[in-house]
Amino acid sequence: MTQFNETELTTAVIRSFDQTPDPRAKFLLQELVKSLHDYVRRTDLTFEEWDHAIGFLTRTGQKCTDIRQEFILLSDVLGVSMLVDAVNHRDRDGATETTVLGPFYVGEHKVAPHGTDISASLPGERMFVQSRVTDLTGKPLVNVPVDVWHADDDGFYDSQKPSYATEGPSSRARFVTDADGRFFFRTIVPCSYPIPTDGPVGQMITQTNRHPMRPAHVHFLVNAKGHEPLITHVFMEGDKYIDSDVVFGVKDELIAKVERRTDPDMPDGQRSDGPWHLMSYEFHVKPG
């Protein structure tokens, strides 16, 4: 039998993967065939549309470089990245919610002393961040490395700027929790920023009348021994894009009220030059 009607064709393609040695790979490929074929049948996809899809995927692959991953961006704006996050973190048991890692994590950061101003060289409104890491019972976790990073006042990460090669990291550091599970640092208030719009994914966002913005946030990667690594953001309450993050990364629990303060003393007793902001957030991590 070689002649296939639409349904028999799908069966034949599924069967062609029957001899796949790895059972999980076999399952994933056969389910992929079902999904793709179902899509084509449901939409009565035309040759022109198929051709457009081939061109889009090709351009997306060709936009990728060592420092640019356009397929991850595509996964992000289609909500696939957050869904993969969701299905892999079904039971939080009170642990802090997770969100996307994003493309601007550059690997383990350099340790900085508590209180360091990680954006010392940058213009922007000043912010004091105080935080604590505990387990699910509220017990403080000591000596936990926490990587933090965020965008500058113009919406760029240090690694996106040419100065990164010569001047090194900025708005990016690692802190290690003290005996009470605490760490704190100074920085500027982060800004909302657009995902890169100069590629096929940005073009799709524009052509579909979506905006390319992410609400302002600080990234945290909490890596406590004997616990699940926690990859998350803390978002700034009141951000214009808090309800329409282009990558669907916001979760209610991850939104922090950031207070504007005018008192002269900051939480670590140091004086402030002028008004400042206070972000307070506590992380709870799962054993694992």
Residue in this structure with the two tokens 């505990």, named with its chain if needed: 134
Size of the site for Cu ion (CB under 5 A): 5
In the set 145, 215, 218, 266, which binds Cu ion (CB under 5 A)? Answer: 215
CA dist., res. 34 & res. 21, Å (int): 20
With binding defined as CB under 5 A, does residue 236 bind Cu ion?
yes
Which residue number, 102 or 145, has a Cβ lying nearer to Fe ion? 102
Among 225, 227, 218, which residue's Cα sits nearest to residue 131?
Answer: 218
Which of Cu ion, a copy of itself, Fe ion, none binds 39 (CB below 5-8 Å, type-dependent)?
a copy of itself
Q: What are phi and psi of 212, to 5 degrees?
A: -95, 15
Question: Which of 253, 259, 265, 268 touches a copy of itself by CB under 8 A?
Answer: 253
Asked if 60 is part of the footprint of a copy of itself (rule: CB under 8 A), the reply reads yes
Contact of 61 with 73, CB cutoff 8 Å: no
Q: Interface with a copy of itself by CB under 8 A: which range of 43-51, 123-131, 146-154, 270-278? A: 43-51
As a whole number of angstroms, the longest Cα–Cα distance in the chain is 83
Q: Does 105 bind a copy of itself (CB under 8 A)?
A: no
Which residue type occupies 97? Answer: E
Nearer to a copy of itself, 183 or 220 (CB): 220
Among 63, 102, 158, 170, binds Fe ion (CB under 5 A): 102
Dihedral sign, CA of 31, 36, 37, 38?
A: positive
Is residue 241 within 8 Å of residue 213, measured between CB atoms?
Answer: yes
Q: Tokens at residue 281, please?
A: 């957030």
- CA 188/CA 27 separation, integer angstroms: 48
Whether 190 and 216 have beta carbons less than 8 Å apart is answered as: yes
Active site residues: 157, 193, 214, 217, 219
The answer to the question of residue 251 lying near Cu ion (CB under 5 A) is no
Give residue 31's region: left, alpha or beta (phi > 0; psi -120 to 50): alpha
Q: In whole angstroms, how close is the CB of 8 to a copy of itself at the nearest point?
A: 10
From the list 14, 64, 242, 278, which residue makes contact with Cu ion (rule: CB under 5 A)?
Answer: 242
Residue closest to Fe ion when measured from CB atoms: 102
Which positions from 170 through 229 interact with a copy of itself, judged by CB under 8 A?
Answer: 207-210
Binding residues (CB under 5 A) for Cu ion: these are: 215, 235-236, 239, 242
What is the binding site for Fe ion (CB under 5 A)? 102
